Every structure is written in C-alpha cells, then in structure tokens.
Amino acid sequence: MPATSPPEPYPEPSWWGWGDPARVPALSEAVIGLLRDGLGVREAPGRPEPVRGEELPPVRLSHASVAALAEIVGAPFARSDPRARLSHTRGKSTPDLVRMRAHDLAGAPDLVVLPGSHEEALAVLRFCARRRIAVVPFGGGTSVVGGLEPRAQEFAGLVALDLGRLDALSELDEESRVATLGPGLRGPQAEALLGARGYTIGHFPQSFEYATLGGFAAARSSGQASAGYGRFDELVVGLRVATPAGTLELGRAPKSAAGPDLRQLVLGSEGALGAITSLRVAVRPAPEARVYEGWRFRSFWEGAAVLRRLAQDGPRPTVLRLSDEAETALNLAQPGELGGGGECLAIVGFEGAAGEVEARRAAVAEVLRGAGGQSDPRAGEEWERDRYRGPYLRDALLCAGALVETLETAAFWSSLRGLYERVGAALRESLSAAGTPPVILCHISHVYAAGASLYFTVGCAAAPDPVAQWRAAKAAAAEAIVAAGGSITHHHGIGADHAPWLADEVGALGVEVLRAVKAALDPAGIMNPGVLLPLR
C-alpha cells in the first residue's frame, strides 16, 4: 500500500509542562487548602515567565557543521532557532520541569535535525561520529528518567535528532496483521491511521497523547491495557535502526532460533545504540466494544490477591489495575457501600468483539464477587474520562508550590508486599527528614502470571531546592527497590536517572556486555552519552 500520512497532531506541548497548556486545570479552594494545611505548601510560584532567546546557551557547533547537516536533511529541517532548541531541551520528569521553569536551560541542543528518511538519519549519524558531535534521538520528548539529557560536555556539540518526519503508515499486512509504521507517529496519529483500516495497536500508556512509537519501543513502554494487548516491546516484530556503524534490519519472522534475538538489544536501548527509523508492529482488529468498570475491595492486599488470581488462572480482562487505600481516598473514591473508609478501587476493562466482551465480563464479575468485591460502574467511566489527566494535574500542583513525582517498579508476586512497604518507608523517611512529610499513593498498573508492577505517586511541599529534594528521595527509593528484589524500572526506562542502579539489575558483567554492543554500533560514543549505561 502507498505511504499514508497521519492526521494533525495534538497541540504542541508547552516547554514548562506536560502537554497542551490549555488543559492544565485550575485547582479548587478545597485542594489549595489541602496543600496548605495537609502538606505545608506556602508559596505558589505560578506559571513561569517566557524564555528569552538570549537565555539559551550559545550554539557550540561550528558553522561548517551546521551547514553540512543542513545539506543532508534540507535547510528547513536543520533548526537552531530558540523555539526549536527550547522544545527539545530535556524531558518531562518533575526535575526536568522544575529546572525549565527556573530557566535553567543548560544542555539545550545546538541544532535540531529532522531527517526525512532512514538514509538521511544514517548520514547524519555518520557525519556526527566523524566530527564527535553528540546525538540524542528525540520522539515525543516524554521521558521522565533523564533520557533526553545526554552528557555532551566533552563533545563538539549536541544535535537533537527529531524523528517526527518519519510518520507514515507505509504498509499494512492484513494477512499477518502486521503494520509498518514510522517512529515519529504519536499515539493518537498511529491509532487514527490504523483505525481507518479497522485495526488497533492497543497501546495506551498515560503518555499516549504525546509519546511516539519510536519512544514506546526505545523505552519498553507498557500501556494501560497491557493485560489484554501486552507491552509494546511484545508487539514489535521488526525494526530498522540507523547507527553510526551502519544499518540494523531486524525481524525476518515473528520468532526465530537464529541466535539471540537482536531486536531485544534495540528495545529498551533509549537511543544509546542508534535511532529507530521504522517499526513493524503486530496489530489487532479494532474492538467492537469497550467497557470499563470499578470494583471495590476492603484492602489493597485483598484486591491484589484477586488480581493475581485473574492474571494466573483467568479469565483475564484487557485492563486490570488496583489503587491502594491512599490513592483510592484521594483520587478515585466515590461514596461506596463498604463504609468506614479504607477501601481500594480496582479498574477492570474489556475490549473486543461485543459478545466476547460480555461473556468475559460476566466471568470476571463472578470471580470478583466471589472474592468480596463490590461493583462501582461509575468509577470505570470516570477512569476512562480522566485516564490521561494526571500529568496536567501535576502541572497545576507544581504551579501551586507542591512537589509531585512518580516512580515505578515491578516484582514477583511473592516479593510485592515487601517491595511496597520498603519503597513507601524509604520515601517517607527521606522527605520527612527534609522537613516535607509526603503523601504517598500507589497502584498496581500491570499484571503478569508471575508478578506485577507498582506505580507510586509522591506529593509534598517543595523544598528550596526541589531537584535535590527529589533526587535524594528517589535514590532512597532506588536502594529500597534493590534491597527488596524489585526491578529498578518496569516501563519508564533507565535514562540517566536510573543508570547508577543498572548493575544491580543486570550485574557488572551485563553492563560490560552492553558496553561492548555500544562500542560495535557507536564506536565514537556519540549516541545519547550518559543515558542507559552508567558513567565510568
């Protein structure tokens, strides 16, 4: 089939917040009172002042290098104007946004380059390798682990390689149910293109509106419907990758015994090995029906036991999540039938053919009722309505003077409770010692037969140095994760923030294996230096 271009993207995200600034909510007086009386928030900095062009660091690239890169991709697609540089500076973690709001723009790219083909991307990387210019591949810019802040001081400059022009649905193999898609497609664009042909990827993370398919693959993203559709890395059956050493073409068949699966080297590599320029992704027929409902349980661990039962023995819903008592009370609770507080809310969703959805829904309801669950249909509807709202609420809370951030991990079922308790205790101890006692929320967001993920949201008053405040708390949480046998990350990736703990996850020898792979694909070390691999 001919290449198909995507519909118009969502509004350009703000440089100081998550996405469309018009969607940042106004906080109610009740919430402001809670921040003041419950967390001790006193100062409300509000929205930041606009950045002036002269506040950006001077361009370090030589005129000759800028001209050469412009010749490769075309002058309109080699941009050094302040708006382009600002919009490609850092990702969307709370430390990223706090620094951006303070007009700390260190590390802004010198040039934003937008290749229009794999060949152009390859030529850019080869040129940058010869000139020792660092390159950070850029998709939606939604990294929350420092994945877009390379350590480029020792290089001749920094180029942001924006894959946004590679945004076509170039092939749809309906017999195999595999689509060939550009990495620059944002989630809604990809779904619109496939939906017009009657298909879906089924990948809907909270970053769905702004993250790209290339970013999903590079960070091993997991969507809110992972119980039914699987993680994104499970859906990728083929990749084309531009590296400074040449092209990787991976995925001749869905599965192969031809040695280790090299696709797995790219999935989760976060731009440290090369730039993904094309993906082949498994798709499914678009669902006829979608139903999301809430179920309440008396405690988090009572609900977790039911999730484990469904994950291991079925029937398995498409969406399966569970909030702990604090998250349910603060974010999701509606007057329920259990009474007395302390309830936990599960969100259970079903997608597929209408008849199949109803049959699976009835079978799951039987299991949930048998375990003491009580139905709350309205909660499912509200979750569907607000499923992408969280980052905008964080923007509003940052403007009000609070510090709000998230972290996630995963473990086997047998270790999950200890992991939950250790991480919560580490966060409370660190932030309370800083004079900012927190509120800590948690939910199970992804389930497997063998285990599940935990997703923590932390809120407290911002200290005078909120970046140092959070980094100390995050380090304490990371040490607790390692001690409890959890993964340092389930779906956010390693970035620069988690790199110090990579050896705890894969071992010192595992890190050296990755260094050897990087040396083969990126001999000059220009690709996202300092991201993924810990600094020596």
354: domain CATH number? Answer: 3.30.70.3450
Domain boundary among 365, 387, 409: 387
157 plus 29 within the same structural domain = yes
Stretch 271-286: mean pLDDT, rounded?
98
Shared domain check, 25 and 125 = yes
Q: What is the C-alpha radius of gyration for the chain, rounded to an integer number of angstroms?
A: 23
Query: How far is Cα 495 from Cα 490, in angstroms, rounded to an integer?
Result: 13
Beta strands in 340-401 (DSSP E): 344-352, 374-376
Both 214 and 254 in a single domain? yes
Confidence check: pLDDT of 338 > 60:
no
- What pLDDT digit, counting tens, does each position of 38-62 carry? 999 988 999 999 999 999 999 999 9
pLDDT at res. 536: 79
Same domain, yes or no: 61 and 104? yes
Instruction: Name the packing angle between helices 413-433 and 466-484 (round to 10°).
Output: 150
Q: How far is CA 217 from CA 159, 214, 259, 449, in A?
A: 21, 5, 21, 23
Mean pLDDT of 308-335: 87
| 137 and 225 together in one domain | no
Q: Give the chain's domain count.
A: 3
Judged on CB neighbours under 10 Å (0-12, 13-18, 19+), 254 is exposed
- What is the CATH number for 260? 3.30.465.10
What integer pLDDT is reported at residue 391 of this predicted model?
96
What DSSP string runs through 245-288? TEEEEE-SSSS--SSS-THHHHTT-TTSS-EEEEEEEE-EEPPS
Which pLDDT band holds residue 8 (cuts at 50, 70, 90)? low
Is 234 domain-assigned? Answer: yes
- Half-sphere exposure of residue 263: CA atoms within 13 angstroms, side-chain side: 25
- Indicate whether 5 pLDDT > 80: no
258, 285, 312: which is the final residue of a domain?
A: 285
> Which residue among 285, 316, 336 closes a domain?
285
Q: Would residue 324 count as lying in a domain?
A: yes
User: Per the domain annotation, does 516 fall within a domain?
Assistant: no
- State the average pLDDT over residues 1-11: 65
- Lowest-pLDDT range, 4-18, 73-87, 364-378, 382-396? 4-18
Angle at which helix 63-73 crosses helix 118-131, to 10 degrees, equals: 160
For residue 9, pLDDT beyond 70: no
Residue 202 has pLDDT above 60, yes or no: yes
Predicted confidence at residue 508, as pLDDT, reads: 96
204 and 128 together in one domain: no
**Stretch among 246-255, 327-336, 373-382, 431-440 having the lowest mean pLDDT:** 327-336
pTM: 0.95
Q: Does residue 213 lie within any of the structural domains?
A: yes
Residues 181 and 267 both lie in one domain: yes
Residue 181 and residue 128 share a domain:
no
**Cα–Cα separations (whole angstroms), residue 49 to 18, 36, 263, 286, 427:** 16, 24, 44, 44, 32
Q: Given pLDDT bands bounded at 50, 70 and 90, which one contains residue 337?
A: very low
Same domain, 247 and 315: no
485 lies in a domain? no
- Shared-domain flag, residues 180 and 75: no
What's the CA gap between 313 and 305, in Å, rounded? 12
> Rounded mean pLDDT of the chain?
95
Note whether 227 and 358 are same-domain residues.
no
Q: What's the mean pLDDT in 230-237?
A: 98
Q: Is residue 441 in a domain?
A: no
pLDDT in tens, 396-453: 999 999 999 999 999 999 999 999 999 999 999 999 999 999 999 999 999 999 999 9
Q: Same domain, yes or no, for 293 and 332? A: yes
Token output for 120: 């152009």
CATH number for position 129: 3.30.43.10
What single-letter DSSP state applies at residue 222? -
Q: Packing angle between helix 94-101 and helix 390-399, nearest 10 degrees?
A: 40
Domain assignment of residue 510, yes or no: no
Residue 154: Cβ-neighbour burial (10 angstroms; 0-12, 13-18, 19+):
exposed
Domain that holds residue 363: 289-387
Give pLDDT, residue 333.
Answer: 39
Instruction: Please state the rounded mean pLDDT for residues 74-94.
Output: 98
